[in-house]
Structure 1
């Protein structure tokens, strides 16, 4: 029987890059805040943490039309 599923076997290269970009964008401010806090720059760490949470808290929705 022929499958009617048209989903590609592998995700598109752009979809994979978007996933990595999202992960790095979220991880970078956390790592920067931890490093700044570890070296004693608590004020700078707080600013980076607040800015990072504001930036990564933004949600983008993509609507696919067929």
Structure 2
């Protein structure tokens, strides 16, 4: 019989690290694109934006479902 205890189990530290890494990468990419665009380096800003979008697309949201019986 399944337990009725609905106390959430804490996430492992690796799950939090992935979220922080993704957020930090996005922030750095936005800053880099703005700085490059302000300096008149439109091609470089486009390249940095494309690489950042590809990286952030791969490291997107992951959902894990644990079914206990």
Please tell me the TM-score bracket, short chain as reference: 0.5 to 0.7
How many residues in Structure 1 have an aligned counterpart in Structure 2? 63
Q: Equivalents in 2 of 1:49, 1:22: separation in Å?
A: 14
Per the normalisation by structure 2, the TM-score is: 0.64
1:36 equivalent to 2:46? Answer no
Q: Give unpaired runs (5+ residues) of structure 2.
A: none
Per the normalisation by structure 1, the TM-score is: 0.66
Q: Give unpaired runs (5+ residues) of structure 1.
A: none
Q: Which has the higher contact order (CA 8 A, sep 6+)?
A: 2
